[in-house]
Amino acid sequence: MQRTENLRVAEVRRLTPPLRLKSTLPITDSANRAVIDGRVAVQNILDGTDPRMLVVIGPCSIHDTAGALEYAERLNRLRVELADRLCIVMRVYFEKPRTTIGWKGLIYDPHLDASDDVEAGLHRARQILLDINKLGLPAATEFLDPIVPQYIDDLVTWAAVGARTTESQTHRQMASGLSMPVGFKNGTDGSLQVAIDALVSARSPHSFLGIDSGGLTSVVRTKGNPYGHVVLRGGKAGTNYDAESIAAATAALSKAGVREALMVDCSHANSSKVFARQEEVCQSVIAQRRAGNTALVALMVESHLFEGSQPLGSYPTQLKYGVSITDACVGWETTERMLRHAHAGLSPSTAN
């Protein structure tokens, strides 16, 4: 009989089950407290009972452990200093959706050499999250593959579903079972409706195929996630952080009967892919919030130790330290200036 399966599969390699990895790298008391406190704070901000603004900020992607932890230590000092008006959560992204091909993130290629050592990538990602949370600094990530949360979800305070996957039923089902708040980005074309549809879907119970903590194929039944919200990132038609766009988005959310809480992504199409313009977007959002727009509850910024980006190339050992290998980021000096400006703009009388 002629073979009809796996004709284009080169290899199938088994991975350590999630439960074993979590046992090897267990969550600590301090990391557990950071996650719990972070999730409660974000939920309260979305509910409107915490007047602070959520800021998810950090590298476009994590590719270097030392650089990530140095950034985390710096950011944590600012988190503590500015905590009365800002709830700062670090972007710790290990998966990168690609329009065509390219480096898919630390989990998939931790050695930056196309060796696809996913086993090592999962270990490294979990260890980085442990180290960041031990500082007291909450972490945010984008979940791209629906299996990955089983390995690291206990260490994540806030999760994103990206513009390319917000319309995906698989990701909406996954979000319905996640234990943390989830931000859904508008589509790459700028469409808000796909994100609103995602909110409606994710807050409902679902049943779908997945894996359990032992790595076995299972039916996953979820309760629904009440803490979904929209992330505005602009689109092919232009930006969507101006007052008119914010008003239109708020009206659409109200009509759909979903949470009227908006995060503005200062990068991507909102900055026209020019990293330095993120500061302008941030200033505009803070000004609108100061003017009384309470629907604006959160910001996202792509930031690293040093500004710009660099190609991965063929020689990872020659990469510049603290510079993104995916989207270009603002550097630390600009990062600190942006956060201090946001803090100053949210005086106690205007933060509510």
What's the pLDDT tens digit per position in 136-157?
A: 999 999 999 999 999 999 999 9
Q: What is the pLDDT of residues 217-257, one digit of tens each?
A: 999 999 999 999 999 999 998 999 999 999 999 999 999 99
Reduced to 3 states, what is the DSSP secondary structure of residue 346?
A: coil
The answer as to whether 66 is a domain residue is yes
List the domain range (segments joined by +) for residue 55.
Answer: 18-345
The answer as to whether 11 is a domain residue is no
The answer as to whether 52 is a domain residue is yes
The answer as to whether 260 is a domain residue is yes
Distance of CA 128 to the CA centre of its chain: 15
Q: What predicted TM-score, i.e. pTM, was given to this entire model?
A: 0.96
d(CA 70, CA 84): 23
Residue 43, pLDDT above cutoff 50: yes
The answer as to whether 156 is a domain residue is yes
Q: What is the pLDDT of residues 279-332, one digit of tens each?
A: 999 999 999 999 999 999 999 999 999 999 999 988 888 999 999 999 999 999
Q: Looking at residues 193-205, what average pLDDT do you find?
A: 97
d(CA 128, CA 148): 15
Residue 93, pLDDT above cutoff 60: yes
Reduced to 3 states, what is the DSSP secondary structure of residue 248?
A: helix
CATH of the domain at 95: 3.20.20.70
Helix (H) or strand (E) holding 202: helix 193-202
Q: Looking at residues 210-219, what average pLDDT do you find?
A: 96
Cβ neighbours of 96 (radius 10 Å): 22
The answer as to whether 9 is a domain residue is no
Q: What is the pLDDT of residue 23?
A: 98
Closest CA to 128 of 172, 86, 92, 162: 92
The answer as to whether 2 is a domain residue is no
Q: 3-class secondary structure for 83-112? A: CCCEEEEEECCCCCCCCCCCCCCCCCCCCC
Hey, what are 320's tokens? 């510049």
Helix (H) or strand (E) holding 81: helix 65-81
Higher-pLDDT residue of 348 and 341 is 341
Residue 175, pLDDT above cutoff 80: yes
Hey, what are 348's tokens? 């106690």
Residue 350, pLDDT above cutoff 70: no
Q: What is the pLDDT of residue 98?
A: 78
352-to-52, 80, 259, 348 alpha-carbon distances in Å: 8, 20, 17, 7
Helix then strand count (H, E) for the chain reads 10, 10
Residues with Cβ within 8 Å of 327's Cβ and at least 6 positions away in sequence, in order, are: 60, 61, 267, 268, 273, 275, 302, 309
The per-residue pLDDT of the chain, averaged, comes to 96
Number of domains in the chain: 1
Hey, what are 170's tokens? 């698989």
Q: What is the pLDDT of residue 193?
A: 96
Torsion of CA 183, 280, 292, 194, to 10 degrees: -30
Strand partners, 88: 55
d(CA 348, CA 291): 13
228-to-183, 205, 279 alpha-carbon distances in Å: 6, 13, 26
Q: What is the pLDDT of residue 99?
A: 72
Length in residues, the chain: 352
The answer as to whether 104 is a domain residue is yes
